[in-house]
Structure formats: C-alpha cells, structure tokens
Amino acid sequence: MRPAFAAAALALLLASSLQAQQFDRGPDTTIDAATRNRVIEGVLQRIEEGYVFPAKAGEMTRAVRERARRGEYGSIVSAHALADSLTAHLQGVSHDRHLRVVYRSRGVPDEPPAADPTEKERREQLEFGRQVNYGFEHAERLAGNVGYLEIRSFGFDAEMVDSTLAAAMNFLANTEALIIDVRRNGGGDPEMVAAVCSYLLPPKTLINKFYWRPLNRWDEFRTGAVTGRRYGTTKPVYVLTSDETFSGAEEFAYDIQTQRRGEVVGDTTGGGAHPGGLRRVTERFGVWVPSGRAVNPITGTNWEGVGVRPDVPVAAKDALRTAHRRALERLLATERDPERRQLLQRAIDQVRHAPAT
C-alpha cells in the first residue's frame, strides 16, 4: 500500500460500516466553551494546511468563522452536535462528502498523508481482512453462464487480496459475461481497484492518477500482472452501482466506464473523489481532510460531487436483474447453436420474472 493511502484505507477498514465517510463515534459527552473554540480553530487549521483546494479551504474558513462570530456555536454543549454542525457547514461550502468532523470517545488517531501504517495497524488490517474475506462477498455462476462477483470493499492493498482475488477470478474465468456488484461498497485503496481492473484490461493500462496537495506529488495507478486467470478484454462486463457506492468503488465503476470496458448499471453513485486521512484536532476530535484529487487520464476530471452516471440508469434494486438480462440478450444475439439459444432464451424469461435483489 502506498503511504499516501495507508491512513485513509485503515480508517475505512476499521469503520463498522465499511464506508470511509462513516465513523464509530461512541457515546456523547458535554463540552465547554474552551473546548468548543479549540475544536473549531483546530479544524480550520487542519483544513487550511491540507485541503486539496486552497481557495475552497479559505472559503470554508471564512464561512465557519462568520458563523462563530454570530454566535451560532455558542449554545452547543454536545460533542456529537458540534461535530455534526461543523460537518454540515463545511460540506455546505465544499460539497465534499469525504470532509467530516468527528468526535470519537475512544480517541482519534492522526493520519498524515505520508504516514505508513504501524505494525499494530497492519496486523489489525490483516485480521479484519480475514474476517470479511478481503471484501469479496459472493462469487457465483448465474443462469446462462453469466458470472457474478460482489465486492463490498476495496480497502486492502494488492498483495493482501491477491490469493482471494485470484481464486474468485479463476472460478469465474469460464463464464461468458461478468457482473461486478459494488452497490454496497464504500471505497478503499486504489491499489486494490487496479488489481481487479488488471483482470479485465490490458497490462500497463493507466487507469487513474492522484494529486496530493500536502506532498505536491502525483501517483499513477496502472494494471499489472495477475496470479489467476485473466478474464480478458472482450467478454461483456457490467458494474452495478447505487447511491451508496462511494470513493474507491466509484473509481472502479468510472475506470471501467471510461476505458469502455463495460456498462455501469444502477443508480448514480455518491460523488466522493478526494482521498485523504483523519487528522487529530484534540484527543477525541478530528477532521477527515480530503488532501488529494483523482484525475482520470481519459476525461481529465473525476466524479467528485456529481457521482458516476450509469450507462443504464435503473433503481439499484433492479440493477442485477437488468444487467443479467442485458448480458443474456447480448450472448443470444451472437449465438448460433439452437440448443444454446433455447437455453439462453429460457434464462432471459426466468430473469424477467425474477424478484429485485
């Protein structure tokens, strides 16, 4: 895992929901005026130091200080309420869903952009990875020889997921179309995104770049060698999305879409393209500061604030059924064997009457 992504991925992994923008806050507590003022000033300092867009950081700082001047925070005595209020006001200016002020009763770690995970954090990551099968929830063969792979998290580096990813792709290698489901995926590490893309795209394909403001550095992510069987670059691929698809999961959908490797089917995604880390403000308050930005090599932009717009827009609950049907219809259009055509047609009829999932 590259150092710039270590803290962000660990924050993701240790969150109970597997979503980078959510945190296990613990019980609330009462705060006094001195604590409230220290938190406000500390949050603004962290944003000014590290937020990916300096001009926008200045706008947020001015907006919050004006609210403080008017006394809008003066009556807040709840730690959670202060964190929620600051989050709402900062997001109201930035429209950045990664940006979030948090209060955590057990304490807040400090995650600078260039920090490597500690040995303890690495052990926790490995243990958590085993508990959730490194994000791989389901791999199965659907009717008509269509593969299905559900990935709930991209929160691990390529080395960690290698054997599990290879096993899943080996199982799916003989299917004739593939559906990859990231509807419940809150994001993670771009190295894992690149690892999955490596089974679907040619080697050394540049899929994404990140610019880090605090480091003044660009990172590139390309497809590479794989341990398992490549799925190849021609068989149909469908990516399922929802409005809960966020961050690194959005990158995966965007990469497949912009590389014209497959169709995105479902809802428009959440719209978070700015990676970063949780920066400590006090012992128990912190702010998740987006300090980098994704730059797609094809579009020159990203999905921040707008989400990934699907090629086939349907409600998330209908996405699997829709993608399965489209895959079967595409296979039927080129099939010449009469028995195989009958099998595909029966599968299409079955899918049309299947319940939403």
At residue 355, the pLDDT reads: 87
Give 1's pLDDT tier (boundaries 50, 70, 90). low
Q: What is the pLDDT of residues 90-105, one digit of tens each?
A: 999 999 989 999 999 9
pTM over 0.95: no
Is the residue at 83 inside a domain?
Answer: yes
pLDDT above 70 (res 114): no
Q: Do 146 and 257 have their domain in common?
A: yes
Domain count, the chain: 2
pLDDT above 70 (res 2): no
For β-strands 100-103 and 276-280, DSSP reports them as unpaired
The DSSP string of 193-230 is HHHHHTTTS-TT-EEEEEEETTTTEEEEEE----SS--
Q: Do 99 and 169 have their domain in common?
A: no
How far apart CA 305 and CA 202 sit, in angstroms, is: 30
At residue 18, the pLDDT reads: 36
Q: Which residue has the tokens 């009469």?
A: 338
Is the residue at 39 inside a domain?
Answer: yes
Q: What is the pLDDT of residues 195-223, one digit of tens each?
A: 999 999 999 999 999 999 999 999 999 99
Is the residue at 114 inside a domain?
Answer: no
User: What angle (nearest 5°) sits at the alpha carbon of residue 226, between those of residues 221 and 228?
Assistant: 145
Is the residue at 282 inside a domain?
Answer: no
How distant, in Å, are the alpha carbons of 32, 206, 247, 266 from that of 262? 54, 17, 19, 13
Q: Do 237 and 271 have their domain in common?
A: yes
Q: What is the pLDDT of residues 71-93, one digit of tens each?
A: 999 999 999 999 999 999 999 99
Give the mean model confidence (pLDDT) for residues 114-122. Answer: 79
- Domain end, chosen from 68, 103, 138, is at 103
For β-strands 177-181 and 237-241, DSSP reports them as parallel
Cα Rg of the chain, angstroms: 22
Give 8's pLDDT tier (boundaries 50, 70, 90). low
Is the residue at 171 inside a domain?
Answer: yes
Q: Do 164 and 217 have their domain in common?
A: yes
Q: Do 142 and 97 have their domain in common?
A: no
Q: Do 97 and 188 have their domain in common?
A: no
pLDDT above 60 (res 15): no
| CATH number, residue 145 | 3.90.226.10
Could you say which DSSP state residue 88 is in? H
Is the residue at 37 inside a domain?
Answer: yes
At residue 212, the pLDDT reads: 94
For β-strands 146-151 and 136-142, DSSP reports them as antiparallel
Q: What is the pLDDT of residues 140-197, one digit of tens each?
A: 999 999 999 999 999 999 999 999 999 999 999 999 999 999 999 999 999 999 999 9
Is the residue at 281 inside a domain?
Answer: no
Q: Do 156 and 293 have their domain in common?
A: yes
Q: Do 145 and 170 have their domain in common?
A: yes
- Domain end, chosen from 34, 68, 103, is at 103
Is the residue at 110 inside a domain?
Answer: no
The DSSP string of 121-186 is HHHHHHHHHHHTGGGEEEEEEETTTEEEEEE--B-S-HHHHHHHHHHHHHHHTT-SEEEEE-TT-B
Contacts with 131 (C-beta within 8 Å, 6 or more apart), sequence order: none
Q: Do 216 and 144 have their domain in common?
A: yes
Q: Do 218 and 293 have their domain in common?
A: yes
Percent of the chain past pLDDT 70, that is, above it, reads 93
**Contact predicate 276/112, CB 8 Å:** no
User: 3-class DSSP state for residue 308?
Assistant: coil
Q: Do 239 and 340 have their domain in common?
A: yes
Domain range for 309: 120-276+287-352
